[in-house]
């Protein structure tokens, strides 16, 4: 079995109304339960808006200990969409992971990036 991340990208603008969001969250909770029952669920998390992020970076090359760090508020890329949440699932292959992603898209209408996890440390 391989672990996959299902990354939900959401727009910075135009949040749904509270009642629409409540229904979406209810349906996502049901989907998470189906994932648990199928043995696919590993973890999920929603994220605060990208504007709440603080980015830490260094100009040191890879493998060289940085002498100083640069910090900035907000997202580090200029984009119309940012990572809004994610799932880590366990699936036998990419097709199975894509099947779960399609269910998320059907609920949220948001783009879901499916990417194999290089390593999972628990």
Q: Measured in whole angstroms, how far is the alpha carbon of residue 88 from the centre of its chain? A: 8
- pLDDT tens per residue, range 3-51: 999 999 988 777 789 999 999 999 999 999 999 999 999 999 998 888 8
- pLDDT tens per residue, range 60-69: 888 888 888 8
Q: Measured in whole angstroms, how far is the alpha carbon of residue 15 from the centre of its chain? A: 17
Q: What domains can be seen in the chain, in order of their start residue?
A: 2-59+69-116 (3.30.70.1060)
**Whole-angstrom distance, CA of residue 60 vs CA of residue 69:** 9
Beta strands in the chain (DSSP E): 2-11, 41-46, 54-57, 70-73, 81-91, 112-116
Residue 49 has a pLDDT of 82
6, 45 Cβ separation under 8 angstroms: no
Residue 55 has a pLDDT of 80
Q: 79 falls in which pLDDT band (50, 70, 90)?
A: low
């Amino acid at each position: 079995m391989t672990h996959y991340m299902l990354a939900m990208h959401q727009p910075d603008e135009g949040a749904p109304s509270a009642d629409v969001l409540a229904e979406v969250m209810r349906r996502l909770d049901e989907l998470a339960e189906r994932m648990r029952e199928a043995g696919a669920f590993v973890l999920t998390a929603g994220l605060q808006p990208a504007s709440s992020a603080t980015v830490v970076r260094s100009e040191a090359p890879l493998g060289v200990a940085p002498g100083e760090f640069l910090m900035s508020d907000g997202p580090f890329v200029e984009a119309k969409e940012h990572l809004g949440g994610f799932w880590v699932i366990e699936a036998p292959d990419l097709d199975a992971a894509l099947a779960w992603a399609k269910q998320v898209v059907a609920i949220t209408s948001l783009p879901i990036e499916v990417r194999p996890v290089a390593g999972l440390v628990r």
